[in-house]
Amino acid sequence: MAGDNWTERYSGSVMNTFGTPKLVLARGEGVRVWDVDGKEYVDLLGGIAVNALGHAHPALVAAVTAQLQTLGHISNFFASAPQVELAERLDQMVGGTDTRVFFTNSGAEANEAGLKITRRTGRTHIVATEGAFHGRTMGALALTAKEAYRAPFEPLPGDVTFVPYGDSEALAAAVTDQTAAVIIEPVQGEAGVIVPPRDYLAQARHITAAHGALLWLDEIQTGIGRTGTWLAHQNDELCDPLPSPPDIVTLAKGLAGGIPIGACVATGKAASLLQPGNHGTTFGGNPIAAAAALAVLDTIEKDGLLDEVVAVGEQLRAGLAAEPRITEVRGEGLLIGVDLAAGLDSAAVATAALAHGFIVNNPTPERLRFAPPLVLTRADVALFLDALPAIVDDAAATEGSK
């Protein structure tokens, strides 16, 4: 069946929350996917930073297959070895003392768990940042800044103050002794890959500690090797070292390489604020998702992908910067945002890229975002950069024809 037919059936059967799909995909391998009409694409979005190992990676397929053949769902009345092993790996990754994990099915749910932890401090005030995206469930949406997402569902829960992202003085002015937590993305992905000043997170740690508030880092998009280190707040190229670990770190997206999972990791006193009965989830910590996550972590280590992310990311950023109609290139590793010259529409560029066989993302009208699989190669990057001038030419012609 052709793609147009599938799209028509999609529109007739699926709620219209995402608009019309750009493609109907049939299969994937590595960084490439094929649509139902047989056309091949290089995936430079990775399911929005999710497909850490690309598509159909043998290690991920083997781990999920083996686990499903052994033990699938078990409910939260029981534990499994993959769940415990993954929790120990994440505890070690985040650091701190008495670190504990609550597993979820998604990033938004991980942030819901974080929000509940903040309520158990006895305080309700949260400070979030302008441009932030923390999810679309009602609690996570209350922490998300974008008015278009918020307005249809207001009033939203919570007492939330938004401050300009990257502005330490504004943050200091907003945090009081009644503040439960400050939530920050180390790099804002949804806003177009916005990188704060180097000292921002360290300053946030000082400010929260001075007021007894929790520092909550949303690493849902930036974590699991995306910037070249396991977690972005540990990346010396992005930020100064924190004086002490964050109290809460939320993870999802790349953690299990496409198998749904999220994790809320808390340290110190924050790790024990939730008590039995305070929170729950049916599928969180599922052995299959946990086994998939362990396969992702093992493969990143075994194949040296953190170093590759740095090297391939540098190649991609340099090539993007060489295109004269790109005015700014930001980000680290394989989380990259670019600004386009005036008159160029990012949606037109994304459409032209698709026509040339490349999947890119346009999070804002002026910006593109790249978050490809961590297995992206130098040859893949060279292929895209060779096509980039023609892609921009086609987008410019589209705009000029309007």
Strands (E), 92-247: 100-104, 125-129, 159-163, 179-184, 214-218
- Distance CA(159)–CA(125), nearest Å, equals 5
- The answer to whether 219 is annotated as binding is yes
- What local confidence, expressed as pLDDT, does residue 401 receive? 40
- The answer to whether 204 is annotated as binding is no
Q: Comparing C-alpha atoms, which of 82, 12, 32, 41 is closest to residue 285?
A: 82
pLDDT reading at 399 higher than 60: no
In the chain, the percentage of residues whose pLDDT exceeds 70 is 99
pLDDT reading at 82 higher than 60: yes
Phi first, then psi: give them for residue 311, nearest 5 degrees.
-65, -45
Question: What is the token pair recorded at 195?
Answer: 């990188």
- The answer to whether 229 is annotated as binding is no
Question: What is the token pair recorded at 349?
Answer: 């560029």
- The answer to whether 203 is annotated as binding is no
- Distance CA(380)–CA(374), nearest Å, equals 12
- The answer to whether 108 is annotated as binding is yes
Q: Is 60 helix (H, G, I), strand (E, B) or coil?
A: helix
- Distance CA(170)–CA(173), nearest Å, equals 5
- Distance CA(118)–CA(296), nearest Å, equals 30
**Single pTM value for the model:** 0.97
Mean pLDDT score of the chain? 96
Q: What is the pLDDT of residues 110-141, one digit of tens each?
A: 999 999 999 999 999 999 999 999 999 999 99
Describe the crossing of helices 378-400 and 346-355 by its angle, rounded to 10 degrees.
120
Q: What is the pLDDT of residues 9-58, one digit of tens each?
A: 999 999 999 888 999 999 999 999 999 999 999 999 999 999 999 999 99
- Torsion, CA 107, CA 108, CA 112, CA 114, rounded to 10: 40
Mean pLDDT computed over 188-217:
97
pLDDT reading at 70 higher than 90: yes
Q: What is the pLDDT of residues 139-171, one digit of tens each?
A: 999 999 999 999 999 999 989 999 999 999 999
The burial class, CB within 10 Å (0-12 / 13-18 / 19+), for 226 is buried
Cis peptide preceding 155, ω within 30 of 0: yes
pLDDT reading at 264 higher than 80: yes
H or E segment to which residue 186 belongs: none
Q: Is 20 helix (H, G, I), strand (E, B) or coil?
A: coil
Question: Cβ(142)–Cβ(124) under 8 Å?
Answer: no
Q: What is the pLDDT of residues 279-308, one digit of tens each?
A: 999 999 999 999 999 999 999 999 999 999
Contacts of 17 (CB under 8 A, 6+ apart): none
Domains annotated for the chain, with CATH where assigned, are 6-56+304-400 (3.90.1150.10), 59-303 (3.40.640.10)
Confidence of residue 207 (pLDDT cuts 50, 70, 90): very high
Confidence of residue 257 (pLDDT cuts 50, 70, 90): very high
- The answer to whether 107 is annotated as binding is yes
- Our measurement of the distance from residue 233's CA atom to the centroid of its chain's CA atoms, rounded to an integer in Å, reads 14
- The answer to whether 221 is annotated as binding is yes
- The answer to whether 220 is annotated as binding is yes
